């Protein structure tokens, strides 16, 4: 088939082949294979993240269950728990070691805003003070369902980068 410039593709070809910008195709692949790096810092890591990954809630149904321990193998940092000023440089360093594109989910009140320890002299008032956060999962701790909802919101954000999630 010989298509000249500006010549519309035949309807048969249109029907069989979906042409899309490469970035859109890549985003579909990324959204369906997020590679999380869990940064468990306190109770939320156990109550929320481990529960989400366990057999009852089974995050693997969505394909996001393989928590990486290396930032070089991850594209989603999951910050779960209380961030102390002592731990802050490690979060920052690991975030910088993750390649682009990358996203962050803040799990629990502490990771969102410092939670019950916000007035403490040693607690960072939320992951957003260190790195850009894409999705916030509220709760102290959040239920595993809420963590799964957070992953699905991130999936939606990756698929539709221009849509602002609530
Ligand atoms: S939000 Fe609540 S459950 Fe989660 S780390 Fe803070 S104190 Fe613990």
Determine the Cα–Cα distance for residues 151 and 97; give it in Å rounded to an integer.
21
Ligand 1 neighbours by CB, cut-off 6 Å: 42-44, 47, 81-82, 108-110, 115-116, 140-141
Atom of ligand 1 nearest to the CA of 109: 1
Higher per-residue pLDDT: 162 or 83 = 83
5 C-alpha to center of ligand 1: Å? 59
Atom of ligand 1 nearest to the CA of 80: 5
137 C-alpha to center of ligand 1: Å? 12
Cβ atoms of residues 25 and 112 within 8 Å? no
Q: Do β-strands 103-107 and 36-40 pair in parallel, antiparallel, or remain unpaired?
A: unpaired
Q: What is the pTM of this model?
A: 0.85
Atom of ligand 1 nearest to the CA of 41: 5
Q: With a cut of 90, say whether residue 166 has pLDDT above it.
A: no
Determine the Cα–Cα distance for residues 126 and 74; give it in Å rounded to an integer.
21
Residue whose CA lies nearest to ligand 1 atom number 5: 81
Lowest-confidence segment of 61-65, 124-128, 131-135 by average pLDDT: 61-65
Residue whose CA lies nearest to ligand 1 atom number 6: 110
Cβ atoms of residues 15 and 107 within 8 Å? no
Determine the Cα–Cα distance for residues 37 and 78; give it in Å rounded to an integer.
6
For residue 12, the model assigns a pLDDT of 60
Which tens digit of pLDDT belongs to each residue from 86-108?
999 999 999 999 999 999 999 99
Q: Which domains does the chain have, with CATH numbers?
A: 34-159 (3.40.50.12280)
For 136, phi and psi rounded to 5 degrees?
A: -110, 130
Residue whose CA lies nearest to ligand 1 atom number 8: 43
Residue whose CA lies nearest to ligand 1 atom number 4: 44
């Amino acid at each position: 088939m010989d298509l000249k410039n500006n010549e519309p593709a035949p309807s048969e070809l249109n029907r069989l082949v979906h042409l899309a910008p490469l970035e859109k195709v890549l985003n579909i692949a990324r959204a369906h294979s997020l590679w999380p790096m869990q940064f468990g810092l306190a109770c939320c890591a156990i109550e929320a993240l481990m529960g989400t990954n366990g057999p009852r809630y089974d995050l693997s149904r969505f394909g996001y269950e393989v928590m990486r321990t290396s930032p070089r193998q991850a594209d989603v940092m999951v910050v779960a728990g209380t961030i102390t000023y002592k731990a802050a440089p490690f979060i920052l360093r690991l975030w910088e070691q993750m390649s682009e594109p990358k996203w962050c989910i803040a799990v629990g009140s502490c990771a969102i805003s410092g939670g019950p320890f916000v007035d403490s002299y040693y607690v960072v008032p939320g992951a957003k003070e260190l790195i850009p956060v894409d999705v916030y999962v509220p709760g102290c701790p959040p239920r595993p369902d809420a963590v799964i909802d957070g992953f699905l919101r991130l999936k939606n954000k990756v698929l539709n980068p221009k849509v602002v999630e609530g």
